[in-house]
Amino acid sequence: MTTIPTGAVNHIALTVTDRDRSREFYTSLLGFQFIVEFGPKYLLSNNSVILALNPAPDPARAIANDRFDENRVGLDHVSLNVANHAELESALKLFDERGIPHGEIKDLDGLGIYVLAFRDPDNIQVELTAPHE
């Protein structure tokens, strides 16, 4: 074997400052369902991917009042699929109703997708991605 055959993403683990606040954000806004509390983690699922919300693994090393910054080594953003452009338009309305800052829908024509970026409570960039129809 020269490469390891991999499949779809199994789970994404995010370090968050307040797992209850993050749980509320991902369940009430993005439709994730709470699965289980696993030690200090909350596990959520949208039936496609498991999202783990974790406190800092070593609280003594956690930075006070830290916010996510994609310019550090590691995660840049999380992108979740939606069915179509109309879902992105609906998301814009929901973000506006709930006062959630967001970007505009961008057409990444060379990739055949539209993306809509926003931030979670810890400033982690999340994108909704829809295929061209």
Determine what percent of the chain is predicted with pLDDT higher than 90: 77
Q: Is residue 67 part of a domain?
A: no
CATH of the domain at 108: 3.10.180.10
**Residue 118: its pLDDT value, please?**
96
pLDDT per residue as tens digits for the range 57-102? 888 898 888 888 888 888 999 999 999 999 999 999 999 999 999 9
Q: What DSSP letter does each residue of 93-105 carry, written as one string? A: HHHHHHT--B---
What is this structure's pTM? 0.89
Mean pLDDT of 90-117: 96
126 is in which domain, residue-wise?
77-133
Total domain count for the chain? 2
- Both tokens of 114, joined, read 């539209």
- Dihedral sign, CA of 46, 26, 102, 68? negative
Euclidean distance between CA atoms 126 and 120, whole angstroms: 7
Backbone torsions φ then ψ of 32, nearest 5 degrees: -70, 150
Q: Is residue 10 part of a domain?
A: yes
Determine what percent of the chain is predicted with pLDDT higher than 70: 100
